[in-house]
Structure 1
Amino acid sequence: MGSQVIKDVVKSKLWKEFKRTIGNDFIRVLEHHIARVAGMPLDELVLLKPIEFKKLFIQVFGFQGWSVFINVMLNICREKSFNKEVVYKWFDIEEEFNQTYIY
């Protein structure tokens, strides 16, 4: 399997685990406030247009909300032994973001 395919599989698993962890109520909030505005299903937006998702997420929830989202994703990486670099590259963030904004 190519490295891009592996990264895509990890992203998909991370996103599914995020949805399971966070619960349906918050997923519905994301669908209403972010996916609806983007005009596409939430799963597609997150997996195929992560930068657009990031931009809309920050518009709705601010940088503090974004830092919580990233922190949850990184916690899932630790629990599932996924490489955290996938999250950083997926959402085009610097590792320093983690150290600066996530407590």
Structure 2
Amino acid sequence: MQRVALKMKLHAGQTEEYKRRHDELWPEMKELLKSIGVEDYAIFLDEETNILFASLKIENSELLDTLPQTPTVKRWWAYMADIMETNPDNSPTTVPLKEVFYLL
């Protein structure tokens, strides 16, 4: 399994809304992520900076590149665009993170 980590930024005051939306994650979004092999997906929030840290495991991380073309992901991005930093296409502004340590 490959481990993938990235960071995003939440708009100030949107913590509860972000959590609520993810607590009610659409079934079709869950199914899509599972269908490409996403496992152990977690998102953490640094409340001082509003930085979101996401980590997941996947057998083939190249499959993540297929997600932006799906209608479900495009709709999710539009749904989330008002509460976090995004690109012009509504995709979240993300910064991939380099793994520098892992304790098995």
Q: TM-score scaled to structure 2, two decimals?
A: 0.36
Q: Which has the higher contact order (CA 8 A, sep 6+)?
A: 2
Structure with the bigger percentage of strand: 2
Larger Rg: 2
Q: TM-score scaled to structure 1, two decimals?
A: 0.36
